[in-house]
Amino acid sequence: MNNFQGKVALITGASRGIGASVAQMLAAQGADIVINYRSKSSRAEEVANAVRGYGRNALVVQADMTNESQMQEMIKRIEEQFGRLDFLILNASGGLEKDKTADYAMRLNLTAQLLAMNLSLPLIGVGGRIIFITSHLAHFYGQQPVYTAYEPVAQSKKAGEEALRAQIPQLATKGIKLVVVSGDLIEGTITPKLMQRNSPGLIDSRRQQAGSLPTVEEFARAIVNATADPQLESGATIFVGSTDW
Ligand X SMILES: NC(=O)c1ccc[n+]([C@@H]2O[C@H](COP(=O)([O-])OP(=O)(O)OC[C@H]3O[C@@H](n4cnc5c(N)ncnc54)[C@H](OP(=O)(O)O)[C@@H]3O)[C@@H](O)[C@H]2O)c1
| Residue 149 or 174 with smaller CB distance to ligand X | 149
Q: What is the DSSP string of 113-158?
A: HHHHHHHHGGGEEEEEEEEEEEEHHHHTBTTB---GGGHHHHHHHH
Total interface residues for ligand X by CB under 6 A: 31
Residue 241: alpha-carbon gap to chain centroid: 17
Least Å distance, CB 232 to ligand X, is 19
Site for ligand X contains 183 (CB under 6 A): yes
CA angle 235, 149, 15 (to 5 degrees): 60
Least Å distance, CB 173 to ligand X, is 27
Is residue 104 annotated as a catalytic residue, yes or no? no
Exactly one of 108, 123, 179, 220 binds ligand X (CB under 6 A); that residue is: 108
| Residue 93 or 155 with smaller CB distance to ligand X | 93
Which residues, 189 to 208, sit near ligand X by CB under 6 A?
189-192
Least Å distance, CB 184 to ligand X, is 7
Taking the C-alpha atoms of 217, 223, 228 and 230 in order, what is their torsion angle to the nearest 10 degrees?
130
Residue 20's SS3 state is: helix
Exactly one of 65, 123, 176, 224 binds ligand X (CB under 6 A); that residue is: 65
| Residue 15 or 29 with smaller CB distance to ligand X | 15
Nearest to 85 by CA among 35, 115, 129: 129
Exactly one of 23, 110, 185, 203 binds ligand X (CB under 6 A); that residue is: 185
First to last CA, the chain: 33
Q: Cβ of 144: how many Cβ atoms within 10 Å? A: 13
Least Å distance, CB 6 to ligand X, is 26
Exactly one of 32, 33, 34, 38 binds ligand X (CB under 6 A); that residue is: 38
Site for ligand X contains 92 (CB under 6 A): yes
- What CA–CA distance (Å, rounded) separates 92 from 16? 10
Name the strand (E) or helix (H) holding 58.
strand 58-62
Which residues of this chain interact with ligand X, rule CB under 6 A?
Answer: 12-19, 36-40, 64-66, 91-94, 108, 133-135, 183, 185-186, 189-192
